[in-house]
Structure 1
Amino acid sequence: MASAGMRRRVEAIPGRPLPYGILGGCTDVVDVTDEHELLGVEWLALGCCPVNVWNDPCVGADESPGASTTKEFCRPVPEHADPITVYAGAECSAMGWSYQEARAHAEASLELGEQEAVELGFWTNYLAMTAEDLTPAAGPVNIAQGVSALEGCLAEQYGGVGTLHVPAGAAALLGCCNVVQRDPGGGSPTTLAGNCAVIGAGYSTANTGPGNIPAAPGTAWLYITGPVVVRRGPAMTIPDTPGPSINIRNNDRRVLVERTYVVATTCTVCAINVSVCPS
């Protein structure tokens, strides 16, 4: 075996983020032009108010006793989304690493891992803190029953196309009962009802239920929301010049790259605990 001193340094093995994560085809990713949006955004919810059926009191009144003859109005509720800042840092001896090399390494690290970090932040800061728990008293259900319950919750409260949030560790089970299907043309996975499935590495890292309580062994948490819009700021490299990157006390070089995201969804968040041990 060759000694370490004889090894030749080559380029790092490249990677790519999972294709169906939160920055994939299920969400609208917007590169912001107004940096104020990276402080958080707010809006009036659209689609959360029901569209009702009018029962004309002059037609068929006797056939519908108790039917409302007064038209109802719904006041849109304000919603908001807060920023998630993710970062990657590179550190090495300044004797062996130039600023350009350190910067390139940190930038490549962020590019590969930022999707997972955004998923983790969105799951723990929003999904798990907002969701209605649909898990029955009897405990976790199989994944097909879980998706069915979530889609029913979304349909009743929103009615439009939504987003299913699935930990990568449970994704393989979605194919057991054809719970989701992927367009042969390479589109994102969707359910029969038409909801798009985000399959997240960061979701697997979290795998917590409402209140961020960890999933029991052999189970996973699934969530469903309305459509998701991701606002993304520019990647910022700190420092942006070589000199300040060196710590003169130990001669180490540090370069940090960070980016801020604001992930927004609407109307409802439902969650359910499922078994990942297929029966």
Structure 2
Amino acid sequence: MPRVAVDNPPLTQLPYGLFSAASVEAAAPGRWLLGVEYDTDGCTQAGVIGGWCPEDPGDHTMTVPPGVTYPTADGFVVYAGVACKLPGMVEDAGTRAADRLTLGEQTAVERHVWTTQLAVPAAVLATGSETAVGLVDAVAALERDLGEMFGAVGTLHVPRWLVPHLAAADQIVRDDRAGRLTTVLGTPIAAGAGYPGTSPSGTAPGAGAAWMYATGPVVVRRGPVVTPATERTGAFDPSNNEVTVRAQRDYVVTTDCVLLAVQTTTGGTP
């Protein structure tokens, strides 16, 4: 007897990933996919003048750094699809492709952001060394440098498997109202399933070790979900009786003007 078809089990996008720690903005299709830039006040520092007297200012020198910082980011496309040699079985292929995109796009975005914007040679080593340190020391180093170099609330980026270890070390607070994880100082944590934990040079760490990064606030700009072709508008190939339907979405992710890195270890294996 043939098996009985039943409804698919309900599926939910992974919580506490990059999207939970970022500002996610819907954007209409436009030139922004070609790349964006903006001027930021994040990586500036205030100065102090001692002994200032309004009636007798004297000879006080105030140094203001020249220029304006312009962070940039390039666009990319995330996609998912359905392929089947029985077109009649996938009449809802466009919906199925869009559902698959919705479930998998966060992890795909995380993987792309990690390999192109986080784990890059420009990252500053928070401890001054590539040597792995304990979880508490790693978080402390990132928080210290964020405070000294950025001066605003930033974002920590950690592989998802590190979260239980960070929790055991009392380095994570779950903010249920905001639906996100933070450090004890309130810095949002992106716990990415797509974050591989690699170094700024792209090398994989040893067992039980991983790299963590810190950036400024993350803004995810994304366009609408688009299905370029359906089984009725060009996605069907009569030569092999196969239909391939793809759903896709345009993205640009900015992380502002600071990028810090530190290698940490749990002492065990993931």
The alpha-carbon deviation at position 183 of structure 1 amounts to 3.0
- Aligned 1:247-262 pairs, distance under 5 A: 247-262=237-252
Map of 1:44-83 to 2, 5 A cutoff?
Answer: 44-56=39-51, 69-74=60-65, 75-83=67-75
Superposed displacement of residue 277, structure 1? 2.7
**1:121-200 to 2 correspondences below 5 Å:** 121-129=112-120, 130-135=122-127, 137=129, 139-183=131-175, 185=177, 187-200=179-192
Question: How far is 1:29 from its partner?
Answer: 0.7
More helix by share: 1
CA–CA separation in structure 2 for the residues paired with 1:158 and 1:254: 46
The answer on whether the counterparts of 1:49 and 1:76 sit within 8 Å (CA) in structure 2 is: no
Displacement of 1:43 in angstroms is: 0.9
Residue pair 2:28, 2:224 contacting (<8 A) in 1 also: no
Counterpart in 2 of 1:65?
Answer: none
Instruction: State the partner residue of 2:106.
Output: 115
Q: Which one is further off, 6-15 or 80-89?
A: 6-15
Match of 1:89 among 45, 65, 81: 81
Match of 1:14 among 10, 13, 29: 10
Deviation at 1:87, TM superposition (A): 0.6
Q: Report the counterpart of residue 233 of structure 1 in structure 2.
A: 223
The CA deviation at 1:249 is: 1.3
Equivalent of 2:28 in 22, 30, 33: 33
Given residue 103 of structure 1, which amino acid in structure 2 is its aligned partner? G
Determine if contact 2:142/2:214 at 8 Å carries over to the other structure: yes
Question: Which secondary structure does the structure 1 equivalent of 2:119 belong to?
Answer: helix
State the Cα distance separating 1:186 from its structure 2 match: 5.6
* Structure 1 residues 260 and 184: CA distance shift in structure 2, 3 A: closer
Identity across aligned pairs (percent)?
36
The structure-2 alpha-carbon separation of the partners of 1:243 and 1:185, relative to structure 1 and needing over 3 Å to count, comes to closer
Distance 1:184 1:237, change over 3 A: closer
**CA shift for structure 1 position 136:** 5.8
Tell me by how many angstroms 1:101 deviates.
2.1
Query: What's the CA shift for 1:38?
Result: 2.0
Q: Which moved more, 1:68-77 or 1:264-273?
A: 68-77
How many pairs were matched up? 263
How far apart are 1:241 and its partner, in Å? 5.8
Counterpart amino acid of 1:97? Answer: M
Q: Encode CA deviations 1:164-210: one digit per residue, 9 max, x unaligned.
A: 1111011111111211111354642211222111111111xx22110
Q: 2:262 aligns to what?
A: 272
Give CA deviations for 1:99-155 in whole Å, capped at 9, x if unaligned.
Answer: x32212211110100000001110101111131123565821111111111111111
Cα deviation for residue 32 of structure 1 reads 1.0
Conservation of the 8 A alpha-carbon contact between 2:158 and 2:190: yes
SS in 1 for 2:18: coil
**Structure-2 separation of matches of 1:212 and 1:76:** 30
Are residues 240 and 246 of structure 1, via their aligned partners in 2, closer, same or farther at CA, if it must alter by over 3 Å? closer
The one of 8, 12, 19 equivalent to 1:23 is: 19
Secondary structure of the 2:38 match is strand
Q: CA RMSD in A?
A: 2.2
Aligned-residue offset at 1:57:
6.4
Deviation at 1:97, TM superposition (A): 2.2
